[in-house]
Amino acid sequence: MLFTEPLFLFVFLPVCLISQLLVKNVTARNVMLLVMSLLFYAWGEPVYIFLMLATSLLCWALCLWMSHSKRSGLVFALSVAAALLPLLFFKYGAMITGLINLIPGLNIPFRKPALPIGISFYTFQIITYAADLYRGETSAQKSPLSFMLYISLFPQLIAGPIVRYTDVERQLAERPITAPMFSDGVLRFVVGLGKKALLANTVGKVVADIFANPLDELGAVGVWGAMLCYAFQIYFDFSGYSDMAIGLGKMLGFTYKENFDHPYISRSVKEFWRRWHISMNTFFRDYVYIPLGGNRRHQLFNMLVVWSLTGLWHGAGPGFLLWGLYFFVLLSIGRLLGERLRLPAALAIPFTFALVVFGWTLFYFESMADLGCALRIMFGGGAAADPLSLNLLRAALPTLGICAVGSTPLPAKAAARVRRALDGRLWTALCAAFTVAMLFVSVAAIIGDTYNPFLYFRF
């Protein structure tokens, strides 16, 4: 079940919201929300839901034991291992087996299983809870129901953002749902739905149509144009999902931190990574980089570990690792040269964006042969252009222009200016009209188009 499916929008979500609004007792609301969250996950994962339940309950029990144990370090290690082992098996089992089979005489068979939806996200949430508990930054959650709700809460269960337990601990016990909070949540959800349905899907279709042709028949303009479209697709797809998750959280009384902050206006690669997928970067900073020593010792080594893991977090393919190492090199150069790399904003923003778009090329191609072919074409090893790509990109120019503006703070600033100029009731009416119109147009676009992937579900 996806946020963009009519069954979710018009059946599941209304039933869930009505039940939360009508029931005042928090424990009863938590039970109902947990049931709805498990139904949501079971819709897409009727088998792997038991894996999520077993992993979560085992780690909850281990963490509860850790809070009372004199050997808390050992129990902490066990809880992290219990959370990571399923992820290692399902996501990296083939890669690990392949490496083991490099040993002469070994040929261990391994058939790669389907990847459980959201396993990377809920695994990282379990680890944040265990680590914060071990460091004394939170207290143990004694209720398995509350812990399971934290792990399985459907708005952010399958594609993030990664929510730290300390951010929602109080809201699990008490969360009033106010009218302003609910209306803000509805608006935020619909904006995210529009990003996904109207922008990400549109430019994503261009990418799919261009790369439906043999790579060696494409020109440099076609490949670069496709990667530009992909840059906007992955941004509006993932930031749109995060907007929907944050909006749904508000409707249910939960406040999630922002996951994106207009990353494509960054003046440096370092700034880009402060603005892109903030919850993931915060995780690696707080639970990997700083414990390794951070800036205090072995800084470049720590960065290498973090960016290797960042690449591998997205998948076990060599392209993901190469993508992570690419940003390690860029960030290392930036750290070594420091102020000497500073450019005027008019140059720094497009330069950084170009570096990021090239990085998405490493991210996109799963085959090293396809990646090599694409890079050869992009840097002059083929035709300058091909007619089919030119026609597709020409037709996509209006959408690309909207994407370019939509990825900046300009729409939010324009809305704030209109809000200051209008009477409060008129602004409320305008927001209501916008919400209804955006919902209608987005649902119509989804129903009328078979191309509707969520990119981050596969991570």
pLDDT at 402: 96
Number of domains in the chain: 2
User: Are 120 and 104 members of one domain?
Assistant: yes
User: Has residue 386 been placed in a domain?
Assistant: yes
Tell me the residue type at 249.
Answer: G
DSSP state letter for 200: I
Whether 160 shows a pLDDT value over 60: the answer reads yes
What b/e readout covers 81-105, taking b as 16+ CB neighbours within 10 angstroms? ebbbebbeebbebbbebeeeeeeee
Instruction: Pick the closest to residue 210 from 357, 383, 388, 385 (CA basis).
Output: 388
pLDDT at 69: 83
User: Has residue 82 been placed in a domain?
Assistant: yes
Q: Is 17 left (phi over 0), alpha (psi -120 to 50) or beta?
A: alpha
Q: Which residue range is the domain that position 241 belongs to?
A: 181-267+343-458
User: Are 211 and 133 members of one domain?
Assistant: no
pLDDT at 123: 94
| DSSP secondary structure letters along 357-415 | HHHHHHHH--SHHHHHHHHHHHTTSS-S--HHHHHHHHHHHHHHHHHHHHTSSHHHHHH
pLDDT at 95: 85
If one compares 403 and 180, the residue with the highest pLDDT of the two is: 403
pLDDT tens digits for range 55-113? 999 999 999 999 888 788 899 999 999 999 999 999 888 888 888 888 887 788 888 88
User: Are 377 and 426 members of one domain?
Assistant: yes
pLDDT at 453: 66
pLDDT tens digits for range 311-336? 999 888 888 999 999 999 999 998 88
Cis peptide, bond prior to residue 161, ω within 30 of zero: yes
pLDDT tens digits for range 210-250? 999 999 899 999 999 999 999 999 999 999 999 999 999 99
User: Are 106 and 215 members of one domain?
Assistant: no
User: Has residue 214 been placed in a domain?
Assistant: yes
* Boundary-marking domain end, from 156, 175, 194: 175
pLDDT at 441: 92
User: Are 361 and 258 members of one domain?
Assistant: yes
User: Are 104 and 248 members of one domain?
Assistant: no
User: Are 144 and 36 members of one domain?
Assistant: yes
User: Has residue 310 been placed in a domain?
Assistant: no
User: Has residue 222 been placed in a domain?
Assistant: yes
Whether 397 shows a pLDDT value over 70: the answer reads yes
- Contacting residues for 421 by C-beta, under 8 A, at least 6 apart: none
* Boundary-marking domain end, from 138, 154, 175: 175
pLDDT at 151: 94
pLDDT at 335: 84
If one compares 346 and 145, the residue with the highest pLDDT of the two is: 145
User: Has residue 300 been placed in a domain?
Assistant: no
Residue range 297-322: mean pLDDT, rounded: 91
Q: For the chain, what percent of residues have pLDDT higher than 70? A: 97
Label residue 36 by pLDDT band (50, 70, 90): very high
User: Are 379 and 237 members of one domain?
Assistant: yes
User: Has residue 332 been placed in a domain?
Assistant: no
User: Are 46 and 159 members of one domain?
Assistant: yes
Distances (CA, A) of 242 to 235, 271, 316: 10, 20, 24
Q: For the chain, what percent of residues have pLDDT higher than 90? A: 64
pLDDT at 246: 95
Label residue 454 by pLDDT band (50, 70, 90): low
User: Are 133 and 201 members of one domain?
Assistant: no
Whether 339 shows a pLDDT value over 70: the answer reads no
pLDDT at 148: 95
User: Are 201 and 135 members of one domain?
Assistant: no
Residues labelled as active-site residues: 314
pLDDT at 93: 86
Instruction: Pick the closest to residue 234 from 214, 264, 212 (CA basis).
Output: 264
Q: What is the mean pLDDT of the chain?
A: 90
User: Has residue 259 been placed in a domain?
Assistant: yes
Q: Check: CB of residue 265 under 8 Å from CB of residue 235.
A: no
User: Are 106 and 255 members of one domain?
Assistant: no
